[in-house]
Structure formats: C-alpha cells, structure tokens
Amino acid sequence: MPKSNYDADFYAWSNEQAALLRARRFSAADVENIAEEIASVGRTEKRELVSRLTVLLKHLLRWKFQPQGRCSSWRTSIRVQRNLILDHLQDNPSLKPQIPDAMEKANRDAVLEAAEEANLPESIFATPCSWSFDEVIDAGIWPD
C-alpha cells in the first residue's frame, strides 16, 4: 500500500490495512504507519486518563474551595469521573504505573481551570496535588 493512501484518505487506508492483516498479507501491509498508529492509540489512552483526572480534580478543588457553589452537577461530575477513571484503568491496566505522571499533569491543568472558573488566584490551590490518587477516586471522600 503506498504511503500516499495513508496521507490522502486515512479511513480507506485503515480499512485496507486491516483487510491485509486479516488476510495475513503482511508483506503488502504498511508496517511503519501501522506501528505508528498502534503507538498513537496507546498515547491516546494515557491522554484520556489525564483528561478524566483533570475534570475530576477541577471539581474536587472547586468543591473544597467554593463550598457556596456546591451543586448537583459538580457532585454528579465527580461521581461519574471517578467511575470512568476506574473503568478506563480496568480496560487498560498497564496505565497504572503512569498514574503519578498523569496526576501531576492533570493537577497542573485542573488548578488553572478551577482558578479561572472560580475567579480565585491559582496560589490558593495546592501544587502538587494534596490528594493521593486513591483519595481522588475514593467515592467516600468529599473534601471539606
């Protein structure tokens, strides 16, 4: 498969490559681009973990530092993100060693977002994160 198909029509290229692999026509497959796409999927899974943690941490920070603003949508977001993170890690258990790095990146962005949305200075929020990952996903923990 010429590389131009990869660049010109990714959808068609991916279907063609899948068909070649299923037919075990490995010599005809675009191995370099297939390998890059597989690696990209792995990076996407880590970004998903960071993204979910960012939303969760942002709402936990706002829950703690804006008690007057607590509402059902924050509570729901916290509960849903906790579930989605646990589901994501169950589907991708090899991401568990990546949790410290993901927490650091997520907290960095959560502090920015929480400060902006709450109209509070970033300096009031803990950096690094004042909660462990286990505390963050514990359904029984609600920061006060």
Q: What does each C-alpha distance from 3 to 24, 27, 37, 117, 136 come to in angstroms? A: 19, 14, 13, 45, 45
118-132 pLDDT, tens digit each: 999 999 987 789 899
| Rounded distance between C-alpha atoms, residue 44 and residue 52, angstroms | 12
How do the domains of the chain map onto residue ranges?
A: 42-137
67-95 pLDDT, tens digit each: 999 999 999 999 999 999 999 999 999 99
Structure pTM? Answer: 0.84
| Rounded distance between C-alpha atoms, residue 116 and residue 127, angstroms | 16
Q: What does each C-alpha distance from 116 to 59, 67, 80 come to in angstroms? A: 12, 16, 22
